[in-house]
Amino acid sequence: MCGRYGLFTPEEDLAELFRARIRDTDWRPSYNLAPSQTGMVCREPEAGQRELSALEWGLIPFWAKDPRETRSKYSLINARAESVAEKASFKAAFKYRRCLIPADGFYEWHTEGTGPKQPYWIRFRSGNPMSFAGLWERWEGTLDGERRTLETYTIIVGPPNELLGRIHYRMPVILGQEDWDIWLDPGMKETEALRQLLQPYPADGMEAYPVSRRVNNPKNDQPELLEATEEG
C-alpha cells in the first residue's frame, strides 16, 4: 500500500515537468502527506487541457450517498492494480478520470521480528520527482444543508519490485514519462492496454533507507524526516 508520501518540488517546476497549467495556487508542500490531506494531481479533464490541481487524498465515488459514511466504512486511499478496472468504487474513474500524482518519494514500513515497524524513505536515485498512477473523482451533493463539490483521488498500488520487496509486499505504481500521455488521455478507453502500464517500476533507478519513527505522526512535517538514521 501507500499510506504516506512527500511532495515538496515547487509548483512551477512540476508545471514544466508535466507540461501543465497550475489550477490551484494555495497548495502547500509536505514532507509527510497523509490520507485526508490535500495533495497535487496532474490530470487532463479534456484532451489537451492538462492541469495541476489540489485534491483531497481518499477517493469518494461520484455515486456515494454520504461522503462521511464512505470515509468511515471504507479506505479508498489506494486502489489495487489487479482489480481497479472492475471494482465498483474505481471502475468509472479508471475509464474516464485517470491522473498522475507527483511525489518526491514515499514512506513504507518494514516489520522484522517482534520489534516496532521501521519506516523507510523511498525515492529516485536521481532526486527527480516520481509520478504515481492515480484516479480522481468529483462528488456533488448536499452536506449539512449546503451544496458541495468534493474532488478526491486515490493511488494505484501493485506488486513490489526487487527493492521494495525487501521492505513491503506492495508499492505504488510509478509511471515513466513515456507512459504519461497515454495514461492521461481522456479518449483512451482500452482497458487491457491501460492495465499493461501498471507494472513495478525498475528497482535500479530507486533507493530506500531507514528514517526516524517521527514520521509515524502526520503532525510531524519537516525536512528532517528525510534524514537517514540507524535506529529509526
Nearest to 125 by CA among 69, 47, 204: 204
Considering the candidates 44, 51, 108, 151, report the single residue annotated as catalytic. 108
Decide: 39 and 6 in contact? Cβ < 8 Å: no
Residue 108 among the catalytic residues: yes
Residue 99 among the catalytic residues: no
Considering the candidates 2, 44, 99, 151, report the single residue annotated as catalytic. 2
Beta bridge partners of 39: 55
CA distances from 70 to 62, 65, 88, 187 (A): 11, 8, 13, 29
Angle, vertex CA 13, rays to CA 10 and CA 19, nearest 5: 135
Q: Distance (Å, rounded) from C-alpha 177 to C-alpha 130? A: 9
In this structure, what C-alpha cell is assigned to residue 126? 536521481
Name the residues annotated as catalytic: 2, 108
